[in-house]
Structure 1
């Protein structure tokens, strides 16, 4: 029988195999309808390369801004104005689309979010790439493009009429298939190559940084949060264990970006203090740059803070914030057509 340490290593090695070989270029458009909080624009478009933001546009600024020094080279090209116009066009279409969606869902008021996320990922070992294209409404899956079959799918009744319309447009489907097979992977390679030229003191895509792990609790009756932060790349696994076995009564949070280009993630243990004192509970964090997992055994002494940072919790605009924090968007030069519902 293998020891727990060997099991940890095997699990960690498995995670390394699945996370070290893929680099992503993801595109997302996000449109918001209704009363929003300050600082959240009606429309935004962000581009990320392997989880790191490289350009940004929103309806408040109305300007496409490079987020990395090496992206300024692209901002000086004529295509940058074209890319800005594309975002302006999408902004107008999204503003028109969301009221149509609200009618389909029998909604008359409130804050609603429509999002498209598309892009491709590249296997760094084989050079193979895979495209993806999906739409969401109010934080839920809405429509997905199956590139192998060359057609859109949905499990949402309100999306059926749109799927039928889009699937009848064979020219557009063929164009998308060609785009994801060739052009998307081309731009991923171009940006990846450029990204290695970075200024001293900034993170390169291949920098690996271990997470800092802390156990947090607001008060003795609150859940305990295992908070991992400051790690790169973004792939991380956090589990809670009871007496050495994986514990199920856990809420895993989303992986969120920090301002310095690193990431954070948390896992909340929903067990009362009187209960966890009777058994051994521990938080285990696995990351690509760790030889062995980080383990924090839950004790009163191990809890470092009674004040959990506010950015660990979503506000009442949960669906909006979740989408905004995961923006990774619209950059693919040359993408011609934007989908509408009319």
Structure 2
């Protein structure tokens, strides 16, 4: 049974799914932070960056450094988006009866594509001050909002059938075409396989920690055994975080009391597409975290904050996102007005 489960998990972490994601963040009331930031990622790797201070779109990968005309077009699209998003903050503050203070509009969109099965997905979502505001249902070609303040925009956009058809086509076709192009540029980098380094340790009376780092791609499975039997209770799985060398790290913590680990044997098992066989690390009470791991965790958190502009969506999402310029500045002018690659 365990062999079957391991095979299924290996298939899941080694599948050939690629993603194109874009994140837009517009802010007000934060003087030390750019008022508008965009970040583009392919398979979790940053490929482009723009902010309202530098006012130009720049590549983040050598394999994305195309001709100057391409990046000039992207710059103009981001400048247009910047103006629309700044206006939208004003509109939303009015709808929420707000005046001063810190306020944030976030926009995520893009697509995923499996180059083995051909399966494709697309999504587009907005948030305001960390709460969901609008999302696009591409199957029914309509907008969904949990917020009364988003109802006016939903009604306006849904009344434009052509806009919603364009949005669906972009997410399911045009975005996929761009994704395939970018994957072709960076295939040797994006599809590389680097196995994780795994260690198990405990600090004082804190939970036992299994730490995997330095792996690529980001898909990884971490599990525990107690005396050779699968263990699921008291297990806390952390998020996958980026390292500063374009690899990833992840932790899994096991809440074991001292009397527990003195009488039993606990083993952390790690599965990754870069490994020829599972890595197994048995916990002993004299283990301790190497200094490099501690430093790596700190660097990863700082890097993650930098990549997404230090703004975290309060409700976690999973998926990819692409580039659209949507304005809600007046009842006559709304929707996607400056699609970017």
Superposition TM-score, scaled by structure 2 size: 0.78
Could you tell which deviates more after superposition, 137-146 or 225-234? 137-146
Paired residue secondary structure (1:174) = helix
Gaps of 5+ in 2: 331-341
String of CA shifts for 1:223-262, please: whole Å, max 9, x gaps. Answer: 4433222111111223345553333434433322223222
Q: CA deviation at 1:83?
A: 1.4
> Is 1:172 aligned to residue 158 of structure 2?
no
Which one of 104, 127, 139 corresponds to residue 136 of structure 1? 127
CA distance change for structure 1 residues 122 and 331 in 2, over 3 Å: closer, same or farther?
closer
- 1:109-166: per-residue Cα shift (whole Å, max 9, x none)? 6654432111111221143433221223444543221111111123344433332232
Partner of 1:15: 12
Q: Deviations over 1:44-67 (max 9, x none)?
A: 211111221111112232221111
1:80-118 CA deviation, whole Å, 9 max, x = no partner?
222112212222333333354456567666654432111
Q: Of residues 28, 37, 53 in structure 1, which corresponds to 2:23?
A: 28
Q: Report the Cα offset of residue 282 of structure 1.
A: 3.4
> SS of 1:204's equivalent?
helix
SS in 2 for 1:73: coil
Contact 1:154 1:163 in 2 (8 A): yes
The alpha carbon displacement at 1:327 in A equals 12
- Are 2:244 and 2:300, in contact at CA under 8 Å, matched by a contact in 1? no
Does the Cα contact within 8 Å between 1:46 and 1:329 map onto a contact in 2?
no
Q: Is the 8 A contact 1:29 1:115 kept in 2?
A: yes
User: Is structure 2 residue 114 aligned with structure 1 residue 123?
Assistant: yes
Residues matched between the structures, number:
321
Q: TM-score if structure 1 supplies the norm length?
A: 0.78
For 2:328, what is the secondary structure of its paired residue?
coil
- Alpha-carbon RMSD across the aligned residues, in angstroms, is 3.6
Residue aligning to 1:340: 328
Structure 2 residue 173 is the aligned partner of structure 1 residue 187: no
Consecutive unaligned residues in structure 1, runs of 5 or more:
197-202
